[in-house]
Structure 1
Amino acid sequence: MTEQPNILILMADQLRASALPAYGNTVAKTPNLNRLADRSVIFENAYCNFPLCAPSRSVFMSGQLATHIGAFDNAAEFSSQTPTFAHYLRTFGYETILSGKMHFCGPDQLHGFEKRLTTDIYPADYNWTPDWTRFDERLEWYHTMHSVTEAGKCVRTNQLDFDEEVVFNARQKLFDMAREPGQRPFAMVVSLTHPHDPFTIPDPWWSLYTDEEIDDPVVPEPPGTDPHAKRLRHVNGAELLQPTPAQVKTARRAYYGACSFVDHQFGILLDTLEATGFAENTIVIVMADHGEMLGERGMWYKMSFHEDACRIPLLISAPGRFAPHRVSECVSLVDLLPTLASVASPDWKEQAPTRFLDGHSLLPHCMGEGGTDGVYGEYTAEGAVAPMVMIRRGQYKFIHCPADPDQLYDLKQDPYELNNLAALPEHAALTEQFRAEVAREWDIPALHEAVLASQERRSFVARALAKGQQSPWDHQPDRDASSMYIRSHMDLEVLEKRARFPTVAHHE
């Protein structure tokens, strides 16, 4: 195919790879994603580069590592001068659309998207800025264990309100584009907030599962000493409120229910692609911003480099372009921008800047030609007291933080990361190689100072903006009621004919 394909990116929040049958899960009921996986390139070792919402999404959008763009935490501003894949695709002739969550902080709430169909579920201000100088103080917006201890069936939540609005608007936009003559190719991101905690979901998703079929954490208790995990338990309040085994089971059941809810919503959009005739020439990408520990190692949420927190699903479906197969090499969200640019324009490097990009196109992987193998990860948000970095390559994962002992895991032999090899003499050479690579790629002391300075600046600005009249940055979707549905200035016959899809030829 030579025609520019449409691109539909379906993004879930906090969806770990191991929760899906495409990655070996035997509990989750996700029939739509299962069917999509059957015709997809499945990246078995895909990772986020920063296991937290806003920074991970900034990396996904920009193709740059978080520390290169100052995306240090969930309240770090995403600069308007940072090119995103939406800017690239607009350059190549695409209509760029966002429906749902992207957690942009700062006054720019578009970042290259022409249209944003909904507001965000999260705030756009600086009020969620952590403070490393007061680590022991738990701020009011931190996670708590109440999401676990109060998990269960519900009737309604604000997350349901949000996600159903997101899908409704995205579906409507697909129909609008199908009825628009001369429609440009589109790139649409539909980003849900499920299965992010709190762990609660209504029927029919709750009742799809029984307690008996819900699997338990493979490693339910914290193994050995992991200083960062201990800090996260403090930040998340696990030291104050320990869930019972029954509460863990209930939270996991609600999470699986939320995964099925996400699957249903994605199914609605996949069906709409078929109904509009877009399916044949639309590349569909399914992904997540990060994972969810879900009680493994006694840990919940994300914010660490253990597999369930940072390994994500990544499916790319393009029938007629890419044959279904599995890719074992390690890739990450930073690779999405060059991948999308490569799909949109074969000569994209001649039309747009490339020198600051940190990722690599996944197109060779999609074509079955091999490709890069390697991931860099970073973490500088709450729960840290110094920058943490991660290197994932081949069968190994290396984690470094100047405040903690190094960690080295052989994921082929030790998939649950129970045996830290970093201090063992037989792995001394490999550990030293990774340490040297960290020293080449990151100036950790300078990064530490940059994080502290950023936190201080943003905290001061947030306090100042809370005084007097406030001008929120939260996105307000545009709706012009005078041009919607049927209005008196419109030619009714032309309007009705155009609004019907598919159109019907007029017979005299």
Structure 2
Amino acid sequence: MKRPNILFIMADQMAAPLLPFYAPSPIKVPNLSRLAAEGVVFDSAYCNSPLCAPSRFTLVSGQLPSKIGAYDNAADFPADVPTYAHYLRRLGYRTALSGKMHFCGPDQLHGYEERLTSDIYPADYGWAVNWDETDVRPSWYHNMSSVLQAGPCVRTNQLDFDEEVVFKARQYLYDHVRDNADQPFCLTVSLTHPHDPYTIPAEYWDRYEDVDIPLPRQRFADAEQDPHSQRLLKVIDLWGKPLPEEKIREARRAYFGACSYVDDQIGALLKTLTDCHLEQDTIVVFSGDHGDMLGERGLWYKMHWFEMAARVPLLVHAPGRFQAHRVSQSVSTVDLLPTLVDLAGGTLERNLPLDGRSLLPHLRGEGGHDGVLGEYMAEGTTSPLMMIRRGPYKFIYSEEDPCLLFDLANDPQELENLATSPDHQALLAVFLDEARVRWDIPTIAEATLASQRRRRFVADALTHGRLKSWDHQPFVDASQQYMRNHIDLDDLERRARFPQP
């Protein structure tokens, strides 16, 4: 029996709590809403590190950041770490990536047979965090220009990228059905929207012309924030600089438009599946790398464990295999590797490390695990900041900052820190004991700092002399494209047509 095709679509920085299939929302995403209505939706899915590269390395490998050195956005992703692409290749899949994965280091494939585009972000070590100078704000950190310059546009760097990503992905599907239809594929399509900057063409800006764009529900004075949030305000250059309300509203409107843009790209991919008669044999998985605070609690972007930054969309659309339903238990993107292997009919290697657990029982409606572990060692930290999510509770753990404990069932806005509640000291002690058994913070901190120092040294050294870029260079053999004199014209036209006459 032929293994199912897998189309794995990712959005960058899409905050799950704002999407209409999770809560009432003005965001217009009809294609995703249809997939959600027909598929299995995970209501409590999280990233395992609220930053692009660490989250993605964890997602593709099924291992937590500290296990694979995924410390920050310039962390080297070792070539010998198995990914879902390695697993699926061994099962006979064609594996391809179109779009962003933010791989850092000289290996830019990590199991994918081919990458159809370059990456939008650099592959070098230039964005390494520096715990040796925690009070120095590097020039490449986020600032508030994304908000202050929010509004409609004609063109952006991100539009250039995503339109190539989708074009190349659709072309891959056309080529597959014409040339390799008997071999299963796993195509990963990774868009960079709705990631800031908060600007989008007028077509999408205008979709929200008559929409009441909600402002953030919760705001805190700088001095009222937890210590990590205070550091983040300084990281993004917002400390002591209140934003005009109108710019906040415009940034959120542009973000909503960018979500609609992502939805249109997904619609184009789904149409291509249908046009190529692939929709019945293809499992569609949709998720993301982290969310965006979008001004909630006075914070922007990601880099914290609050719901807006840490929760991600996750749905699996395969109506012929799984009945539509919702999953309430907490899961995370570290679970995707074993899930994709299960969906492909493969088995995991018992002697290889793995932190994720398959979501297949959840997909079948048989129940499953409820628990998420998170690790963050990047911008805004001075030591590791960890998270445990289980049942109604979220526990945020640091040995340098006061712990945070929230009951999300009764306090979804995360306003009451139960770590200071006398009635919850026993529960706090249980979480704290588990965290200290699970994580050797001094060892992780030492490894993080050592990696930062190595990468800063190497990055500086590589600026001297001749530059050898690690950025992926997609190869196109023009001699085999379109019409060429060494290819029979009638045969070429026949093979290029679908369906064939």
Paired position in structure 2 for 1:137: 136
Look up the match of 2:167: 168
Q: Is the 1:70–1:76 Cα contact (8 Å) retained in structure 2?
A: yes
| Contact 1:40 1:325 survives alignment (8 Å) | yes
The aligned runs of 1:420-431 (5 Å cut-off) are 420-431=417-428
After superposing on structure 2, the runs of 4+ consecutive aligned residues of structure 1 that deviate more than 2 Å are 220-225, 352-355
Deviation at 1:212, TM superposition (A): 4.9
Aligned residue for 1:312, secondary structure, equals coil
Displacement after TM superposition at 1:19 (Å): 2.3
What's 2:274 paired with?
A: 274
SS in 1 for 2:192: coil
Greater mean alpha carbon deviation, residues 233-242 or residues 218-227: 218-227
| Counterpart among 461, 469, 477 of residue 472 in structure 1 | 469
Q: In 2, Cα distance between the equivalents of 1:483 and 1:503?
A: 20
1:489 and 1:324 map into 2 onto residues whose CA distance is: 51
The aligned amino acid for 1:412 is A
| 1:431-470 mapped onto 2 (5 Å cutoff) | 431-470=428-467
Q: Which runs of 5 or more structure 2 residues have no equivalent in the other structure?
A: none
Q: Which moved more, 1:420-429 or 1:93-102?
A: 420-429
Q: Are positions 1:324 and 2:328 aligned together? A: no
Q: CA RMSD in A?
A: 1.1
Shift of 1:183: 3.3
Q: Deviations over 1:245-265 (max 9, x none)?
A: 100000000000000000001
- Residue type of the alignment partner of 2:11: A
TM-superposed CA distance for 1:402, in Å, is 1.1
Q: Look up the match of 1:248.
A: 248
Judge conservation of contact 1:211–1:253 (CA < 8 Å) in 2: no
The answer to whether the 8 Å contact 1:18/1:25 transfers is: no
C-alpha change, 1:320 and 1:212, in structure 2 (3 Å) is closer
3-state SS of paired residue (1:322)? coil
User: Does the aligned pair in 1 maintain the 2:17–2:307 contact within 8 Å?
Assistant: no
Return the letter of the residue paired with 1:31: P
Alignment of 1:409 onto 2:406: yes
Q: Distance in 2 between matches of 1:222 and 1:312?
A: 27
Partners of 2:242 and 2:76 in 1: CA distance: 34
Asked if structure 1 preserves the Cα contact closer than 8 Å seen for 2:397 and 2:403, the reply is: yes
Using the aligned pairs only, state the percent identity. 57
> Mean alpha-carbon deviation: is it higher for 337-346 or for 92-101?
337-346
Alignment of 1:63-212 (within 5 A): 63-181=62-180, 183-210=182-209, 212=211
Q: Secondary structure at the match of 2:269?
A: helix
The residue number in structure 2 matching 1:496 is 493
The 3-state SS of whatever aligns with 1:103 is coil
Deviations 1:449-490 (A, max 9, x none): 111111000000000000011100000001000001111111
Equivalent residue for 2:293? 293
Determine whether 1:486 maps to 2:479. Answer: no
1:345 positional shift: 1.9
Q: Secondary structure at the match of 2:8?
A: strand
Q: Which residue of the partner structure matches residue 354 of structure 2?
A: 357
Contact 2:54-2:72 at 8 Å conserved across structures? yes
Post-superposition offset of 1:354:
5.2
- For 1:171 and 1:278, how far apart are their aligned partners in 2? 12
Judge conservation of contact 1:78–1:106 (CA < 8 Å) in 2: yes
Query: 1:240 Cα deviation (Å)?
Result: 5.8
User: Alignment partner of 1:213: what SS?
Assistant: coil
1:355 Cα deviation after fit: 4.1
| Structure 1 position 428, deviation (Å) | 1.0
Q: Calculate the TM-score normalised by the size of structure 1.
A: 0.97
SS at match of 1:338: helix
- Map 1:361-400 onto structure 2 (within 5 A): 361-400=358-397
Given that residues 117 and 169 in structure 1 are in contact (C-alpha distance below 8 angstroms), is that contact kept between their aligned partners in structure 2?
Answer: yes
Shift of 1:182: 5.0
8 A Cα contact 1:211 1:250, kept in partner: no
CA shift in 2, pair 1:262/1:354, >3 Å: farther
Query: For 1:389 and 1:340, how far apart are their aligned partners in 2?
Result: 26
Q: Deviations over 1:70-124 (max 9, x none)?
A: 0000000000000000000001110000000000000000000001000000000
Mean Cα displacement is larger for which, 202-211 or 37-46? Answer: 202-211
In 1, the alpha carbon distance for the partners of 2:124 and 2:140 equals 13
Do residues 55 (structure 1) and 54 (structure 2) align?
A: yes
Distance 1:453 1:211, change over 3 A: farther
